[in-house]
Structure formats: C-alpha cells, structure tokens
C-alpha cells in the first residue's frame, strides 16, 4: 500500500519488517529519527528485538559483532562522525564475515563541523570490505534494506552492507512510498541461518590472528566474497522484482543513455535532480544521459564500461573528495574506462549540504563540452 | 509541478505545516514531497520548509527557488528576508500579520493577509499560527481539500489538541473562502 | 586445508603453533590425589588440559609449554613437574 511518511520512518518500518533480533545503536543527526522510531517500536512491542543503548558508535558496532556472531540478525544505523568512530570495527566486521546491515544517512565529515549531506563518510570506508548500496529516493532506500539482508546472509557471501541514502535530503523528506507487508517480506527474506556462531557448548573464536603465512589468503577470500556480490545482487535483485514488482537486478542503471553523447555518472539522490535536468536538456535537443550507480562496492567496472562504451564524454558527479587526488567515483570511472577514447571529467559537487539545482547540472554539461573538468564545481570565488 | 515555500522561525511549526500539507495533498490523490531547509533549528532563527505537488513522481531534490506559493508565518521576517524571491506570476502569498503593510510582491502575485496568530490564541489558546495558515492555504490554492487537511491534523495530534487545531484551521479556511482575509 | 571463513578458531588448537617442544618440565597428574576441582584446566594458558573422568585430567603435550602453573595452583598438590628427557 502506498503511504506518505518521512524517509527515516520509512526506513525504520522496512527494518522492522526484516525482523532484526538485535539493534545496538547510538543517535546522531541526521540518522536519529531512524533509531528513535525503532526504539519506540521495541518499547511498544511492535518489534521483538533487543535494543541496546550504547555509549558510542564504537560500542554500537562492537555490540553488533557480538550479536551477529552469536547468530542474530543484527542492525544498526549511523552517519558521519559516528561512522568515523566505527572505522576500526568496520574492518573487523567484514573480516569476521558477519552479515550486519547498517543504514548510513550520508553526511559530511568534520572539520569544519557540518551536519549536512555529502557522501564523504561512507566513501571514506570504501576499503573496509562492506557492500555499499546507494539509494536515489526513499522507496529505493527502504527496499535496499530488505535486499541487503537477503544478499549478506547468503552463505556464499557472508558480508556486511551499508545502505546509504543522503542525509536530510532523503532522511527528512516526506514522500509517498510503497510499504511492503510483513507477509511479503517474510516470503522474500527467510529467517537468518548463521553459517557458524558463538556457542558456549561448542566454543569458537572469531577474527583470530593470522600470521604472514595466512593473512594474504584471508584478504583474498574477502575480496572474492565481495566480488561474488555482483552476481548475488543480480539474482536477489531480480527475485525482489518478482516479489515486490520493483527490480533491483542492475548494479548500474541508465537514463536516456542509449543515444547519449554526454553521460553523467552519479550516485544517490542527486540522480533525481539530474534526471529532471536531462529531460529539459533533451527538450532542447541535447543528447545527455545518466548512468546511476546503485552499488559502489563491489564496483561494477565491467557493467559501467559496457554501458558507457558509446558516449563521447563522461561527467562524474562526486559528493566526496579523496583529498590530494580526485573524487572517488571519478577515479573508479577512469579506471573502468582505461584504454577507451572517452573523455572523463570529475566534478566535486554538493559538499557539506551545498544545494544542487537543475541549472548546476546543465552548467556542468557546458563545462564538460568545453573540456573543462576535474574541479570543484560552484565555488564561491569571493571567499577564496 | 507546483511548489510552496514556507518562511517561519524555529518553533513556529513550519516543518510540521509542510509535512501535513504534503500528507493532505497525497490523500487527495496526487504526489507530494515535503522537506525542511535543513539547518540548526534553534528557536527563533529564520527557517524554511518546502512542499512540491505534482501528478507524477517528483524526482527533483533541490530547494524551492521559484515558488508558486509562499506562506509567511511571521511578518517580521519580511524586513530581513526577501520572502517573495523568485515567486511566479499568478502565485499566492499568505502572510500572517496583525498589521498589514505594503509588500513588495512581484506583479501578478495574490497576497492574502490573515491574523493567524490571533486565530491560534482564540481557538487553541496558544500563539500557534501554522494550523490556521494551512487552512488558509487550502482555501486560497485548492491544492488540498479541507477534509484531507482535517484527516492529516487528526493523524498528527490527539483528542482536544486535534479539535482546537482543526477549529483554527477551519476558521482561516472559511475566512479566505468568504473573502474576509 | 582451506581457511575458516571469518578467521575463526576452536580453542586450544592453533593451526601452527604447537608449543609442546618448548617444554623443559612436564606435568604428571596423580589420579589418587586429584579432587576434580578443575582449577588446572582453567588456569592453563594454552587451554590444553582436558578432563577425561570426574577426577582425572590430562594435558595435551603437543601444546603444553611446561609452564607449571597447573602444578603451582593445584590445591591437592596432585600435579608434579618433572624434567623431560628429550
């Protein structure tokens, strides 16, 4: 049934439908409404789960490790500084192969302090071994949580996932979503069957130390498992379509791309504004399109190279900056298209909540056509 | 697509107004999107909230720069902020004030003056203007039905609080419909 | 032998580090004096002392480093450390 509600509450409802058994979480803007709603559901017995109030994000994810290793479906949510505080634990979760799903309400990192949106936080953890999915709207955000559990808990995968959605821009926006029923989600998402678990009757330790003779092989296995996610996402994304009528089998999605000469590559809510700008440019006869990245880790290089093979110019919209280099998506796209004659330009845009308008998207097409790129877009020159 | 921009101060319920207008619009069968100009919402600081209305799915995520409608919760803001910025001709500006002045609205904008704070004081017993302004918005623009607004208010508030807010809303709705605002 | 997913391990059994060869002294357990309290098994830093009967414990000499903590802590003085002939 379609209903209208705040993004955070739509996500909390979707998490409830996934029947998590343990939720260790620490509130932080703009993620707070999600964990508040979940805490309320637990208190009101609408959700049968253990909600653990912790003293920091480090503790939150550490408690997730214990809960997941003990065999529970585990959930948490965070953003920005909270995710930064989880840095060490994130690598542990992936190395221990624990299928934890965590919402990331994407927000900028300090300093300077900013509560507003960009994607620096999750991008900074791109090397941690977590699956990273990005949502364009609230429907996708709530759906991806259900899909993420299905993928993560597959014994061929056994990896954790970030479900990323732009803080405030999606988390605090009221818009209509199709909310699945409990029966529908139960039919799609079976109960969690741990591959192995902590058990006092049959003790086991997770994440033991590996000497130089073994460490590389463990890392290689993590890499192989993460790369297997591409296939799992196609399979379970298509299955999602059969169950719910919304197909998520594609790791990347084209919009007006078939005959495009200039293609944007973007991730998250900026895709919506970009699509509206593309419609207006198309009406003016400009052959512009978009390739939306839904899955950033594993990175779908082959799918991107094939989707963009016919375009002349690519304009990458990066809501992050790998300081001292370029935007993270731009770097990956240049790698994916290495050896082709396609011009790739990277635009750092919308950092720390700077609003992105249709006219900005159009201005970037003009810049790309002139061959001007690899830059911060929209700087206020008077401040520099 | 039509767009509404609400100007207010932190604590006046601008974000709640945007949300409830979107809920009412959705109940009326159209697509709606509501969001705040995210900020550090300390009480008294100028804030904005936005609503978009469309027959199709709304993909646009930028703030509202060229509104069809504005609601000004607190007329003292007009001194500091150009609340009319970007307004489209044929648009509607709903201003809450007890002392109507001369406003520099763009040509073709219909201005509706209403003392919504007084309505709030009399009906709710609190200087709450937003629910009355929602009623005025429903009457002036036709974007939302009054019955849908009533449902949205009942969904958010309980018991007596819902009743008094609905009364405030209805009084403003009728004033605008009757041409006395 | 493939790696365990998640780098997991069972207690007391390191894949590589059989520490038994470090030993100079080894423990001898007296069945007669043993009260079955289990302190030896709990105190063993290698976790290599196993209970086989109610009042009978044996060390896994592949891992026993000969540290002597079990003998030191045993309240019934049921464990003696003896020089190992190699």
pLDDT, tens digit (0-9, with 9 covering 90-100), for A62-105: 999 999 999 999 999 999 999 999 999 999 999 999 999 999 99
* Structural domains in chain C (count): 1
CA distance A202 to B38: 51
Q: Cα B58–B61–B67 angle (5° rounding)?
A: 80
Residue A78 dihedral angles phi and psi, to the nearest 5°: -160, -165
pLDDT, tens digit (0-9, with 9 covering 90-100), for A228-242: 999 999 999 999 999
How many Å lie between the alpha carbon of A356 and the closest alpha carbon of chain B? 6
One fold for A2-244 and A252-383: yes
Residue A245: count other Cβ atoms within 10 Å of its Cβ. Answer: 9
Residue A151 dihedral angles phi and psi, to the nearest 5°: -75, -50
pLDDT bracket for residue C14 (50, 70, 90): low
- Candidates A239, A189, A237, A226; CA nearest to A75 is A189
Task: Yes or no: say if A79 and A31 are a contact pair by the CB < 8 Å rule.
Answer: yes
Letter string b/e over residues C6-35, b meaning 16 or more CB atoms within 10 A of that residue's CB:
bbbbeeeebeeeebbeebebbbebeeeebe
Task: Yes or no: say if C20 and C64 are a contact pair by the CB < 8 Å rule.
Answer: yes
Spatial CB neighbours of A252, under 8 Å, sequence gap ≥ 6: A291, A292, A293, A294, A295, A300, A303, A304, A307
Q: Is residue C49 part of a domain?
A: yes
* pLDDT over 90 (residue C21): no
Domain that holds residue C24: 20-83
* Superfamily for domain range A2-244: Thiamin diphosphate (ThDP)-binding fold, Pyr/PP domains (3.40.50.970)
Residue C86: count other Cβ atoms within 10 Å of its Cβ. Answer: 6
CA distance A95 to A81: 22
Mean per-residue pLDDT, C14-42: 88
Q: Is residue C12 part of a domain?
A: no
* Closest CB to C3 among A96, A206, A221: A221
Q: Is residue C6 part of a domain?
A: no
Sort out which chain B residues have CB atoms less than 8 A from A275's CB and list them: 59
* pLDDT over 60 (residue C13): no
Chain A residue closest in CA terms to B58: A272
CA distance A179 to A143: 9
Q: Residues of chain B with pLDDT > 70: what percent?
A: 98
Chain A residue closest in CA terms to B56: A176
pLDDT bracket for residue B41 (50, 70, 90): low
CA A261 to chain centre: 28
Looking from the CA of C75 toward its CB, the CA atoms found within 13 Å total 5
Average model confidence (pLDDT) across chain C: 89
Query: Which DSSP symbol is given to A310?
Result: T
Q: What is the SS3 assignment for B80?
A: helix
Q: What is chain A's pLDDT, residue by residue, as a tens digit (384 residues)?
A: 899 999 999 999 999 999 999 999 999 999 999 999 999 999 999 999 999 999 999 999 999 999 999 999 999 999 999 999 999 999 999 999 999 999 999 999 999 999 999 999 999 999 999 999 999 999 999 999 999 999 999 999 999 999 999 999 999 999 999 999 999 999 999 999 999 999 999 999 999 889 999 999 999 999 999 999 999 999 999 999 999 999 999 999 999 999 999 999 999 999 999 999 999 999 999 999 999 999 999 999 999 999 999 999 999 999 999 999 999 999 999 999 999 999 999 999 999 999 999 999 999 999 999 999 999 999 999 999
Sort out which chain A residues have CB atoms less than 8 A from B22's CB and list them: 4, 174-175
How many Å lie between the alpha carbon of A21 and the closest alpha carbon of chain C? 21
Q: Is residue C47 part of a domain?
A: yes
Number of Cβ pairs closer than 8 Å across A and C? 44
Task: Yes or no: say if B181 and B114 are a contact pair by the CB < 8 Å rule.
Answer: yes
Chain A residue closest in CA terms to C4: A218
Domain architecture of chain B: domains with CATH: 2-177 (3.40.920.10)
Whether pTM > 0.95 for this model: the answer is no
Chains C and A, touching by 3 or more CB pairs within 8 angstroms: yes
Interface check for C52 against chain A (CB to CB < 8 A): the answer is no
pLDDT bracket for residue C15 (50, 70, 90): low
In CATH, the architecture of A252-383 is: 3-Layer(aba) Sandwich (3.40)
Alpha-carbon dihedral A289, A378, B81, B175, rounded to 10 degrees: 10
């Amino acid at each position: 049934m379609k209903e209208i509600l705040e993004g955070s509450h739509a996500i909390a409802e979707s998490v409830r439908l996934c029947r998590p058994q343990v939720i260790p979480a620490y509130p932080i803007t703009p993620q707070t409404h999600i964990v508040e709603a979940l805490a309320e559901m637990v208190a009101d017995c609408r959700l049968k789960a253990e909600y653990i109030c912790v003293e920091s994000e480090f503790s939150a994810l550490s408690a997730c490790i214990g809960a997941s290793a003990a065999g529970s479906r585990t959930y948490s949510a965070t953003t920005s500084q909270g995710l930064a505080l989880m840095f060490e634990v994130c690598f542990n979760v992936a190395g221990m192969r624990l299928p934890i799903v965590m919402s990331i309400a994407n927000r900028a990192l300090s300093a300077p302090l900013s509560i507003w949106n960009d994607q620096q936080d999750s991008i900074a953890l791109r090397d941690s071994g977590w699956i990273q999915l990005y949502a364009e709207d609230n429907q996708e955000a709530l759906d991806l949580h259900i899909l993420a559990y299905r993928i993560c808990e597959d014994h061929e995968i056994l990896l954790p996932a970030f479900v990323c959605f732009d803080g405030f821009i999606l988390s605090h926006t009221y818009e209509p979503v199709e909310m699945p029923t409990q029966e529908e989600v139960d039919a799609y998402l079976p109960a969690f069957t741990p591959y192995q678990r902590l058990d006092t009757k049959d003790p086991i330790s997770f994440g033991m130390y590996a000497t130089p003779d073994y460490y590389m092989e463990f890392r290689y296995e993590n890499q192989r498992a993460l790369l297997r996610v591409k296939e799992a996402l196609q399979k379970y994304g298509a299955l999602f379509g059969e169950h719910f009528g919304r197909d998520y089998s594609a790791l990347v999605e084209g919009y007006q791309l078939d005959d495009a000469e200039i293609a944007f590559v973007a991730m998250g809510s900026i895709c919506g504004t970009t699509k509206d700008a593309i419609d207006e440019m198309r009406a003016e006869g400009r052959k512009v399109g978009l390739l939306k990245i839904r899955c950033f880790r594993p990175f779908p290089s082959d799918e991107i190279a094939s989707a963009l093979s016919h375009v002349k110019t690519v304009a990458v919209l990066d809501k992050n900056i790998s300081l001292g280099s370029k935007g993270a998506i731009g770097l990956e796209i240049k790698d994916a298209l290495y050896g082709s004659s396609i011009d790739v330009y990277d635009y750092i845009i919308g950092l720390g909540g700077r609003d992105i308008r249709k006219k900005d998207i159009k201005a970037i097409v003009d810049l790309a056509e002139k061959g001007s790129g690899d830059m911060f877009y929209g700087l206020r020159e008077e401040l520099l | 697509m039509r767009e509404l921009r609400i100007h207010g101060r932190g604590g006046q319920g601008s974000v709640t107004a945007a949300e409830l207008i979107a809920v009412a619009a959705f109940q009326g069968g159209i697509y709606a999107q509501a969001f705040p100009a995210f900020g550090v919402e300390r009480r008294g600081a100028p804030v904005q909230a936005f609503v978009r209305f469309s027959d199709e799915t709304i993909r646009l995520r930028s703030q509202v720069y060229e509104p069809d409608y504005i609601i000004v919760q607190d007329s003292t803001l007009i001194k500091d902020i150009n609340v009319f910025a970007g307004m489209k001709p044929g648009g509607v500006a709903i201003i809450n004030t007890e002392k109507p002045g001369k406003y520099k609205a763009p040509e073709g904008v219909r201005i509706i003056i209403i003392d919504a704070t007084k309505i709030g004081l009399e009906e709710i017993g609190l200087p709450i203007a937003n629910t009355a302004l929602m009623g005025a918005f429903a009457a002036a623009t036709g974007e939302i039905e009054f019955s849908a607004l009533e449902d949205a208010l009942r969904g958010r508030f309980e018991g007596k609080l819902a009743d008094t807010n609905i009364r405030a809303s209805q009084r403003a709705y009728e004033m605008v419909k009757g041409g006395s605002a | 032998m493939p790696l365990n997913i998640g780098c997991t391990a069972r207690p007391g059994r390191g894949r590589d580090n059989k520490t038994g060869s470090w030993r100079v002294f080894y423990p001898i357990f007296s069945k007669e004096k043993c009260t079955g309290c289990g302190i030896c098994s709990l105190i063993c830093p290698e976790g290599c002392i196993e209970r086989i009967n109610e009042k009978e414990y044996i060390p896994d000499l592949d891992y026993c480093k000969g540290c002597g903590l079990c003998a030191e802590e045993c309240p019934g003085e049921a464990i003696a450390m003896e020089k190992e002939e190699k």
